[in-house]
Amino acid sequence: MSKTVRIEKAAWIAAWDEARQGHVYLRDGDVVFAGDRIVQVGGNWSGEADETVDGRDRFVMPGLIDIHAHPHHETAYKGIREEHGVPAMYMTGLYERSQAFRLDAEGRAACAELSYADLLLSGVTSLADLSSDFGGWLDLLGRSGLRGFVAPGYASARWQLENDHVLGYAWDEAAGRKGFEDAIRLIEMAEQHPSGRLSGVVFPAQIDTCSEELLRDSVAFARDTGRPCTTHLSQSKMEFNEMVRRHGVTPVQFAQRIGFLGPEVNLGHCIFIDEHSRIGWHTRRDLAILAETGSTVAHCPSPFARYGDALQDIGKYRRAGVNVGMGTDVAPHNLIEEMRLALIASHLAAEDIHTAHTVDLFEMATVSGAKAMLRDDLGKLVPGAKADIVSVDLSLPIMMPARDPLKSLIYHAADRAVRDVWVDGRQVVAEGRVLTLDREGAAGRLAEAQARMCAEVPQHDYAGRSAEEIAPLSLPLG
Ligand SMILES: [Zn+2]
């Protein structure tokens, strides 16, 4: 028998209004779920409940949806990547770092466990996990309690650097094919996982590292089987230049040419599109193409802001009709802080406080993300939707005055105010503690793995440099 949980008299609720097709605030109402489904939002529940939660100091909202993250390795870059960038690669440190810093399988397991815990603590209930298997991936993700969209990456080429300014490619088409086949197998295993919360995403890793044939076959497989498909596209100026060198058009226009765009396609990160001020390209078509094809942009402002770049700007993308979802991409895996940065970065890029508002970010992190994952039962509090629910503590001084709970949460408190989280009706965070994972233990194992990774950097770096030479500490060792 499924358990019925009643959050009684929640002070504030972000409820879904079918008629408006938008979220609305409700006051002093119940939120009730039975098993994995929501049965009532607002008003007074007159039925029985197995468990009653006092909602008087709570803001109840749908769980957030992270459509782009790499929890298996990004947290291992804590203290390394925040200020690591290569000026001769238009500031991006992506290529140099991925070659020099390589985390072992044990480290990836610890990294994933810590990252999943951080995601849950910031109110994320659905995660597109763009990673590769370290052996126990599916079981760990299943155990975390998250709703997992498993995206095993593969590619026909690896980036290869011999200096600080040329992005080279080591092609191996057969390895890309094998990676694709292995990914399909893993996706099918995920969908049979006993947790019942895992499903698959087709993930050719980057537009510049996959052959045209592999990209075409990947998106065809996704379409034929009703699964989402994702890749990295327009994520750096280096990639933009490479795609123009190969094809004479922007990455977005190349993707359109080979039939890669559509409602099932989610692109990280579509920053360097034709009209970006630092690109200087002659067309102004990319945004319209993204909108017309119904493709999604996975917006993750942190890594780019650190390099000194920004998407220009999310308000404009949304007004053009592009579906934009939110991702964390790098550590910290804190989607609420990422929403704050996305708002502020859009205001800076547009020089306009009204280009995007809190309601835009809330939609992006909920229903827009659900759309990208091809789901209409996630990201909203409405009877029949999945019971993926976050309860926020309004009594904390950092949330008060909670005149507008979403603004208090996004601009002020972030994860600090997230108290309880349920996924599929099962409680996974209680009183700000993750119930399903060993966060402290994973952090300790990751610290050891990071030390092993850093020790091996000179073997992998093209110039044989140490981790300290590539990413110096903030203060010299005295
Ligand atoms: Zn990414």
CA triple 307-310-314, angle to 5 deg = 155
Give distance in angstroms: CA of 239 to centre of ligand 1: 14
How many residues would you count in the chain? 478
Helix (H), strand (E) at residue 137: helix 137-144
Query: How many angstroms separate the alpha carbon of residue 303 from the centre of ligand 1?
Result: 9
Alpha carbon of 77 to ligand 1 centroid (Å): 14
State yes or no: pLDDT of 2 exceeds 90.
Answer: no
User: pLDDT for 262-277, tens place per residue?
Assistant: 999 999 999 999 999 9
Residue 433, pLDDT above cutoff 60: yes
Ligand 1 centre to CA of 329 (Å) is 5
How many Å separate Cα 280 from the centre of its chain? 29
Separation of CA 206 and ligand 1 centre (Å): 9
What is the helix, strand, coil percentage profile of the chain, to 5? 40, 25, 40
Which residue type is seen at 370? A
In the reported structure, the alpha carbon of residue 330 is separated from the centroid of ligand 1 by a whole-number distance in angstroms of 8
In the predicted structure, residue 470 carries a pLDDT above the cut 70: yes
DSSP string, 216-239: HHHHHHHHHHT--EEEEES--HHH
Q: What is the pLDDT of residues 22-77, one digit of tens each?
A: 999 999 999 999 999 999 999 999 999 999 999 999 999 999 999 999 999 999 99
Segment 303-308 shows an average pLDDT of 96
Per-residue model confidence (pLDDT) at position 106: 97
* Cα–ligand 1 centroid distance for 437 (angstroms): 24
Residue 195 C-alpha to ligand 1 middle, in angstroms? 26
In whole angstroms, what is the distance from residue 90 CA to residue 93 CA?
9
Distance 178 CA to ligand 1 centre (A): 22
Cα 390–Cα 326–Cα 32 angle in degrees, nearest 5: 20
| Mean pLDDT score, 187-197 | 97
Residue keyed to tokens 């599916």: 138
3-state secondary structure of 88: helix
User: ∠ CA(170), CA(215), CA(180), 5° rounding?
Assistant: 75
Q: Give the mean pLDDT of the chain.
A: 97
Cβ pair 130, 70 in contact under 8 A: yes
How confident is the model over 3-34, as pLDDT tens digits?
999 999 999 999 999 999 999 999 999 999 99
Ligand 1 centroid to residue 422 C-alpha, Å: 26
Ligand 1 centroid to residue 390 C-alpha, Å: 26
CA of 370 to the centre of ligand 1 (A): 18
Question: Got the DSSP string for 272-295?
Answer: S-TT-TTT--S---HHHHHHHHT-
Q: How far is the CA of 477 from the centre of ligand 1 (A)?
A: 33
pTM over 0.95: yes
- In 10 A of CB 42, how many CB atoms? 17
CA of 149 to the centre of ligand 1 (A): 15
What is the Å distance from ligand 1's center to 476 Cα? Answer: 31
Distance from the CA of 55 to the center of ligand 1, in angstroms? 37
Cα first-last separation, the chain: 63
Q: Using CA atoms, how far apart are residues 222 and 265, in angstroms rounded to an integer?
A: 9
Q: What is the mean pLDDT of residues 165-173?
A: 97
Element (H, E) at 350: helix 335-350
User: Which residues are close to ligand 1, an ion, with C-beta < 5 A?
Assistant: 268, 329
**Can you tell me the mean pLDDT for 120-144?**
96
How many angstroms does the Cα of residue 131 sit away from the middle of ligand 1? 9
Statement: residue 1 has pLDDT above 80: no
CA of 364 to the centre of ligand 1 (A): 17
Share of the chain above pLDDT 90, in %: 99
Residue 307 CA to ligand 1 center (angstroms) comes to 15
Q: How many angstroms does the Cα of residue 411 sit away from the middle of ligand 1?
A: 25
Cα 368 to Cα 265: distance, rounded to the nearest angstrom: 13
> Is residue 419 over pLDDT 70?
yes
Q: How does pLDDT run across 346-361, given as a tens digit for each residue?
A: 999 999 999 999 999 9
Mean pLDDT value of segment 124-151: 96
- Percent of the chain residues topping a pLDDT of 70: 100
